[in-house]
Amino acid sequence: MNSPYIVAVGGTLRPNSSTERAMRHVLAAAQRAGARVKLISGPSLQLPLYQPDNSERSDAARDLVAELALADGIVLGSPGYHGSISGVIKNALDYAEDLRTDVRPYFSGRAVGCIATAGGWPGAVNTLGALREIVHALRGWPTPLGAAINSAENVFDEEGVCRVPRVAQMLDMIAGEVMSFAAR
């Protein structure tokens, strides 16, 4: 059997955000377990606003949709903006509509690990809930464990290493859940 392909989408337009670092941690754990991985974050998320009636797509939008179509498992990460996911992440996820006629429509049959970061617990928890609802709407399977991370606690060091053991353990568990489902 081929190794599972895990695609992570999220973060901010700023490279190395706390959300991107959390997704990198999950992807590194999945890679150690044998997965092939891809991160779509930072400037790669600077996509034109999704327009369902306009079939023209930028190269970045076509790449995003193609990677999601290939994915055996998905990791989504969003910063909490005003109690929910950011507009950048919402726009990127709107492009999943282009998968509606795919062999595996939307996120069908795939586990999706969800990560939310915010400068406080309420924003992180609300954002995680919003991500999980979106995954359901896209026919995906949110992993039993999702991560709400309070980025005000300086969870990652300058190199992106998680310095809070309970957060590192949670991110490793998300990788394990996405991998175990993808392997089926």
CB 121 within 8 A of CB 150: yes
Q: Based on the number of CB atoms within 10 Å of its own CB, is 16 exposed (0-12), middle (13-18) or buried (19 or more)?
A: middle
H-only helix segments in 33-183 = 59-70, 87-94, 121-137, 165-182
CB 18 within 8 A of CB 85: no
Residues with Cβ within 8 Å of residue 21, at least 6 apart in sequence: 155, 156, 160, 162
What pTM was estimated for this model as a whole?
A: 0.97
Query: For residue 80, what pLDDT is reported?
Result: 97
CB 140 within 8 A of CB 101: no
Query: For residue 183, what pLDDT is reported?
Result: 82
Query: For residue 1, what pLDDT is reported?
Result: 56
Q: Is 2 helix (H, G, I), strand (E, B) or coil?
A: coil
Per-residue pLDDT of the chain (184 residues; tens, 9 = 90+): 589 999 999 999 999 999 999 999 999 999 999 999 999 999 999 999 999 999 999 999 999 999 999 999 999 999 999 999 999 999 999 999 999 999 999 999 999 999 999 999 999 999 999 999 999 999 999 999 999 999 999 999 999 999 999 999 999 999 999 999 998 7
Using DSSP bridges, classify how beta strands 141-142 and 111-118 pair: parallel, antiparallel or unpaired.
parallel
Q: Please state, in angstroms and rounded to a whole number, the distance separating the CA atoms of residues 103 and 3.
A: 20
CB 80 within 8 A of CB 114: no
Amino acid of residue 81: Y
Q: Please state, in angstroms and rounded to a whole number, the distance separating the CA atoms of residues 89 and 45.
A: 8
The strand pairing partners of 118, in sequence order, are: 150
Domains and CATH numbers, the chain: 5-182 (3.40.50.360)
Residue among 19, 5, 3, 21 nearest 162 (CA):
21
Residue among 121, 119, 116 nearest 77 (CA):
116
